[in-house]
Amino acid sequence: LESRLLTQPWASVCLGESTFLAKVLFRDTGYILLISDLSSVWYESADAEAVGQRSKELNKRLTVQVSSFLHHLCELMHPLLAGQPDATTSFSCHRTASGLSLHMKSELSGLPFYWDFHCCPAPVEMVSRHLVRPLIQMSLALQSQVQKLASLLLQKDAEIEDYRESGATLSRDRLRTEPFQEEKFQQHFMVK
């Protein structure tokens, strides 16, 4: 599950007064959840047996196959991850010294439905693989794009200057631009 979780995007989620980044993957065989407040990263990985056991503890009146239970959990989590939480489902979180607990309350077939995610601190390798490395790779890709765009702007400025020296004039004065100053742009970018 963890290797498949790499393909899932991070989503910003609000739980009470706190904002987190989260990603989750549900399968018929279990789920894995990764959640961070950008100070700490927690995760929970639960197989079908653990899900079945916890569902019996939390939802004594419900008898559902584990795969159906996981599918329902997935349906409840996706609106939250999409930034459109369902009004009939409530989420709350509680931080402890040993981790983070997320409590979910909803309905299933007209009966109350509860679920608790028991997240523990994520190992350093998991944090690196899911958060640090992708952020660094994205930063490098964006830096490369900025360099290519700056180079293109400088080429366009040289082309425009060549036209001007050849006697060309703008037909509409509002299209006139100032030459691109890469150093000034970089300084402004770093300030922001």
pLDDT, mean of each 10-residue run, the chain (192 residues)? 86 88 93 94 95 90 84 91 85 90 88 92 94 92 92 92 87 84 85 82
Q: Structural domain boundaries of the chain? A: 1-122, 129-191
Assigned architecture for domain 1-122: Beta Complex (2.170)
Which residues have C-beta within 8 Å of that of residue 14, sequence separation ≥ 6? 20
pLDDT of residue 137: 93
pLDDT at 10: 93
What is the pLDDT, as a whole number, of residue 27?
93
At 17 the pLDDT is 84
Give whole-number Cα distances, 131 to 2, 77, 88, 125, in Å: 13, 21, 31, 10
Helix, strand, or coil (residue 144): helix
What is the reported pTM? 0.76
Q: What is the pLDDT of residue 30?
A: 94
Determine whether 121 is exposed, middle or buried from the number of CB atoms within 10 Å of its CB (0-12, 13-18, 19+): middle
Q: Which CATH class is domain 129-191?
A: mainly alpha
